[in-house]
Structure 1
Amino acid sequence: MKQLILVTGGSRSGKSRYAQDMAESMNGDLCFIATAEGGDGEMIARIEAHQQMRDATRWLTAEEPLDVCSVVRAHQLCSCFLMDCATLWVSNIMFAAEQKGELFAEEQMRTKVDQLVQAYHEHRGSLIVVTNEVGMGIVPDNALARRYRDLVGTCNQLLAFHADRVILVSCGIPVTLKQ
């Protein structure tokens, strides 16, 4: 059964592993939408570790930091997409806008999420989105970080609203928030 599933949690909570296991339990071809960019050696090592965890015979990997909808639309044969992660997607879009001298605002975030949900509805398969729960810590000390936190919060709320299931992973333990 086709589903939109949001998997959230803190850093290193086990959410990516949980989401991958969930996707691999589904039949058919799988598509991993990687939103991370290898900006430094540590991030490149993280990306490579994630790649090694995926069975290359079942997974198509699409590296797309900005236009994730185009990946969903281009790969109609995939039975499940795993997008990891929405948090980096938000930061990529935010910084791409800033490089053009533009401000990426909440209304634009809403539009981006609506476009992703629409692409999911146009597709025959499931979509699992991994995200980080960034609003449970201290209030950031600068405007840019607060705006980022707010945009991720908006993204997560909208994805959760549209999702069939929402799972919070903490300490490697999944807790269902919405079923």
Structure 2
Amino acid sequence: MMIMITGGSGSGKSSYAEDCITKISKNCKKYYIATMQVFDEEGKQRIERHKNMRSGKNFKTIEQPCNVENAIEKMDIKDPSKRTVLLECMSNLLANEMFSDETIQDRHMIMDKITDGIRQLKNEVRHLVIVTNNVFEDGTVYDDATMEYIKILGCINERLSEIADQVIEVVVGIPVILKEGM
């Protein structure tokens, strides 16, 4: 099963995603695929806050800022039916992939790479919960690179919502079911 969870900054989506994966994991090993790269003190604080939220929930953390499919090789449980994964988060993964070189990567290449990586991951686990961000509603016009990033994240979210069994938006801590599956 694949569940996509979206929401704005501070919406409670991460906490909801952790609760969700904990409920569905039953007899499976829980993996947390962390995509954030730390560049400053604010980033360090955010990571610490998320680690504290996960404390005591028995996640094995895999740092995977790019090439998300490579996380499969880092899982110590080899039986896919015994693995559950929480991927946090799609917006960081996209930024890492898109801005990894001095030049912005091709839109279609990035979308295909990330979507293919998620499909590979989905095929190698029992449950996959993906956290993504809603960055589309502030009405601000940004520089070209940021606008391209926002467009690509929207396209990736659309692609992932098509293959997800459930899509949930968390608004002020309240889950709103957008797509109900399984």
TM-score by shorter chain over 0.5: yes
Compute the displacement of 1:59 (Å).
Answer: 0.8
1:93 to 97, 100, 108: 97
The letter for the 1-side match of 2:20 is: M
Compute the displacement of 1:42 (Å).
Answer: 1.3
Q: Which residue of 1 aligns with 2:179?
A: 178
Rounded to whole Å, the distance in 2 between the matches of 1:126 and 1:87 is: 20
State how many pairs are aligned: 174
- List aligned pairs for 1:154-173, cutoff 5 A: 154-173=155-174
Compute the displacement of 1:140 (Å).
Answer: 2.2
Q: Alpha-carbon deviations, 1:59-113, whole Å to 9, x = none? A: 110111111111034426252110100001111111103x2x4x32221133123
TM-score for the superposition, normalised by structure 1: 0.90
Q: Alpha-carbon deviations, 1:127-155, whole Å to 9, x = none? A: 11100011112142311111011011111
- List aligned pairs for 1:12-31, cutoff 5 A: 12-25=10-23, 26-27=25-26, 28-31=28-31
Q: Which residue of 1 aligns with 2:47?
A: 47
The letter for the 2-side match of 1:167 is: I
Q: Which residue of 2 aligns with 1:111?
A: 112
TM-score for the superposition, normalised by structure 2: 0.88
Change (3 A) 1:114 1:81: same
Compute the displacement of 1:117 (Å).
Answer: 3.4
- List aligned pairs for 1:126-165, cutoff 5 A: 126-165=127-166
The letter for the 2-side match of 1:5 is: I
Determine helix, strand or coil for the equivalent of 1:19.
helix
Rounded to whole Å, the distance in 1 between the matches of 2:57 and 2:173 is: 26
Q: Which residue of 1 aligns with 2:68?
A: 68
Change (3 A) 1:144 1:17: same
Determine helix, strand or coil for the equivalent of 1:144.
helix
The letter for the 2-side match of 1:55 is: S
The letter for the 2-side match of 1:156 is: N
Rounded to whole Å, the distance in 1 between the matches of 2:52 and 2:159 is: 31
Determine helix, strand or coil for the equivalent of 2:85.
strand
Change (3 A) 1:165 1:33: same
Uncovered stretches (5+) of structure 1, i.e. residues with no partner: none
Contact 1:76–1:124 at 8 Å: present in 2 too?
no
Rounded to whole Å, the distance in 1 between the matches of 2:177 and 2:57 is: 30
Aligned sequence identity (%): 30
Determine helix, strand or coil for the equivalent of 2:18.
helix
The letter for the 2-side match of 1:29 is: K
> Which portions of structure 1, spanning 4 or more consecutive aligned residues, are displaced by more than 3 angstroms?
none
Rounded to whole Å, the distance in 2 between the matches of 1:23 and 1:49 is: 18
